[in-house]
């Protein structure tokens, strides 16, 4: 419930938090690499973390989406 994300043709949007909500929007043309990883506990219950690395000095360079099935 605290994490929502969406991928469209032009952007990736990630919403985090309950009280202090934040929304991170990344244009798809700025995405340089995507990393999927998990630790042993996460693998056991079938979860993974997605990290998206982006280009550009004015933007945050990493957006992560935790606990994906």
Handedness of CA 9, 13, 14, 15 (dihedral sign): negative
- pLDDT for the residue 19: 82
Whether the Cβ atoms of residue 27 and residue 38 lie closer than 8 Å to each other: no
Give residue-wise pLDDT tens across range 8-45: 999 999 888 878 888 888 888 888 899 999 999 999 99
User: What are the backbone angles phi and psi of residue 38, rounded to the nearest 5°?
Assistant: -155, 155
Which pTM value belongs to this model? 0.72
What is the rounded distance in angstroms from the CA atom of residue 29 to the CA atom of residue 11? Answer: 8
Whether the Cβ atoms of residue 42 and residue 28 lie closer than 8 Å to each other: no
Token reading at 6: 């969406």
């Amino acid at each position: 419930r605290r994490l929502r994300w969406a991928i469209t043709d032009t952007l990736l949007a990630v919403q985090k938090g309950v009280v202090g909500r934040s929304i991170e929007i990344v244009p798809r043309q700025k995405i340089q690499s995507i990393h999927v990883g998990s630790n042993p506990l996460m693998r056991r219950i079938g979860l993974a973390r997605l990290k998206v690395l982006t280009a550009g000095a004015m933007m945050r360079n990493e957006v992560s989406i935790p606990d994906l099935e």
